[in-house]
Structure 1
Amino acid sequence: MNWLAVACGGAIGACLRYSLALSFASYGFRFPIATFAANMLGCFLMGLGFVFIVEKALLSDVWRHFLLVGMLGAFTTYSTFSVEVLSLLTDHYWKTALAYWLGTAILSVLGAGLGVYVAKQLIS
């Protein structure tokens, strides 16, 4: 059952990620805003889910597999992120690459922390 939950969640997460990419495609940003937004939102939702599902066990473990492992695993895109940073560096956009790399690293942790904080406030 967990495998099916991961697969279904992954399919939904991948479609959501693709939709996000399409929504930003026409703006022509050099900065990979769609990937950045997916990672920030995904980290926030992961923080919420961690508290509700893992810490407080408000949902069954199959929901952890569906939402956290499958859906958010497919929605966030650190593999794409890595290739985009390398591409920016290869194209000599050093400042953009550095801003994207550090911004993602720092804000991802802050997003997860914010998600944990918000979830705990909602529970208490």
Structure 2
Amino acid sequence: MHQIIAIAAGGAVGAVLRFLVSNGVYRVLGRDFPYGTLAVNVLGSLLMGFLFIIFIERELGMAEWRSAILIGLLGAFTTFSTFSMETIALLEAGDVSRAMLNVIISVLLCLTATWVGLSLGRQL
């Protein structure tokens, strides 16, 4: 039961952080491209890779902390469903090139960020 509460608490924090980071990015870069969603997904991927090494491979931290951060916080922070909706919206608006750019950039940057996070975690 403690683990469920930890995941819920982490999810609440992650959702608020997603809102704050995404809107901050949109204020700076504008809304003509899903920059905010891209930013939280790349940052979340980097943190997932890094913290996976710390919490799982190195077995640091209690199970509740691992669950709160990896499942709750980062699960709520990253926004794959938002990414999907924004990509479909671009397609429906007839902006196929931006939709495909969003898919390619998001997948490549998030995979790269996860790899960088794993690499950084392994260097500690």
TM-score tier, shorter chain, comes to over 0.9
The equivalent residue for 1:23 is 24
Aligned residue-pair number: 122
Report the Cα offset of residue 100 of structure 1.
Answer: 0.6
The equivalent residue for 1:53 is 55
Q: 5+ residue gaps in structure 1? A: none
Report the Cα offset of residue 29 of structure 1.
Answer: 3.0
With the length of structure 1 as denominator, give the TM-score of the two structures: 0.94
Give runs of aligned pairs for residues 55-94 of structure 1, distance below 5 A.
Answer: 55-94=57-96
Measure the CA separation in 2 of the matches of 1:121 and 1:62.
25
Runs of 4+ in 1 over 6 A off after TM superposition: none
24-33 or 100-109, which deviates more: 24-33
Q: 1:118 aligns with which of 108, 117, 120?
A: 120
With the length of structure 2 as denominator, give the TM-score of the two structures: 0.94
% of aligned pairs identical?
Answer: 37
Report the Cα offset of residue 65 of structure 1.
Answer: 0.6
Q: Is the 8 A contact 2:10 2:68 kept in 1?
A: yes
Which deviations, in whole Å up to 9, do the C-alpha atoms of 1:17-75 show, x marking residues without a partner?
Answer: 01012213334331100000000000000001110001110112111110000000000
Q: 5+ residue gaps in structure 2? A: none
